[in-house]
Structure 1
Amino acid sequence: MTLIQLLLSIFLLFALSRVILRFRGGQLSPLEFAFWSILFVAAIFGIFLPEQTSQLAKILGIGRGADLVVYVSIVIIFYLVFRLYIMIENLRHEITEIVRKIALENVIKSKTKK
């Protein structure tokens, strides 16, 4: 086992433990739990069985296993950025609605005091 395999596997096992704890705490849905668990377990397998990623890459018409990992990682990152963007836009909309409601309540309160 190389040093990089050891370090990456420790990090991935730690990340997987966080996923399990958040799922048990009710902070992750079953679908989110499955997504992150599969992702981290696949990464662990990829670290210890790099020849398997190369074989899968060849089946998919990609030259090297490392290229496959990069392509899949980029797609996943784009998807996660999209999800974060949607989440931020929803929060922005909710904050706007709350601020409007509070402003209207303050106007009504100030008119009733006069």
Structure 2
Amino acid sequence: MELIQIVGIVFALFALSRVILQLKRRNININEGLFWIFVWSFIILLLIYPEFFGYIAEILGVGRGVDAIIYISIVVLFYLIYRIYAKIDKLERQITYLVREIAIRDRYEPKRRD
């Protein structure tokens, strides 16, 4: 086993432990936790069995395993960016709604100066 594989496995195990800790503390929901557990477990498996990259490359029709990893990573990153965009958009709408509600309430109920 190469040094880079060992370092990668140690890092992935650390990241996996963080995800499990976040789940226990209920800082992330079960769907997000399962997604990240899958991602880090998959990374660990790929680091343990690097020849699997070649099989993935053949299935995807690309030349090398590294190319397959890059293509898959780009797709996953675009998906995650979309999810972040959707969450930010939802938060912006919620903030706008709350600001409007506070503005309407304060218009009819002026602040008292004590």
Which TM-score applies when normalising by structure 2?
A: 0.88
1:77 aligned partner:
77
Q: What amino acid maps onto 2:10 in structure 1?
A: I
Aligned-residue offset at 1:109: 1.4
In structure 2, C-alpha distance between the alignment counterparts of 1:108 and 1:25, rounded to whole Å: 41
2:67 aligned partner:
67
In structure 2, C-alpha distance between the alignment counterparts of 1:59 and 1:85, rounded to whole Å: 31
Aligned-residue offset at 1:78: 0.3
1:104 aligns with 2:76: no
The alignment partner of 2:104 has SS state of: helix
Aligned-residue offset at 1:45: 1.4
For 1:37-96, what per-residue CA distance to the aligned partner results, in whole angstroms no more than 9, with x for missing partners? 111111111112111111221123121111111111111100000000010011111111
Q: What amino acid maps onto 2:109 in structure 1?
A: K
TM superposition outliers: structure 1 runs of 4+ over 3 Å: none
In structure 1, C-alpha distance between the alignment counterparts of 2:103 and 2:56, rounded to whole Å: 58
Q: What amino acid maps onto 1:44 in structure 2?
A: I
2:26 aligned partner:
26
Aligned-residue offset at 1:100: 0.8
Aligned residues: 113
* RMSD of equivalent CA atoms: 2.0
In structure 1, C-alpha distance between the alignment counterparts of 2:9 and 2:15, rounded to whole Å: 10
Q: Which has the higher helix share?
A: 1
Which has the higher mean CA deviation after the structures are superposed, 70-79 or 39-48? 39-48
Which has the higher mean CA deviation after the structures are superposed, 74-83 or 49-58? 49-58
Which has the higher mean CA deviation after the structures are superposed, 97-106 or 23-32? 23-32
Gap regions ≥5 residues in structure 2: none
Gap regions ≥5 residues in structure 1: none
1:48 aligns with 2:48: yes
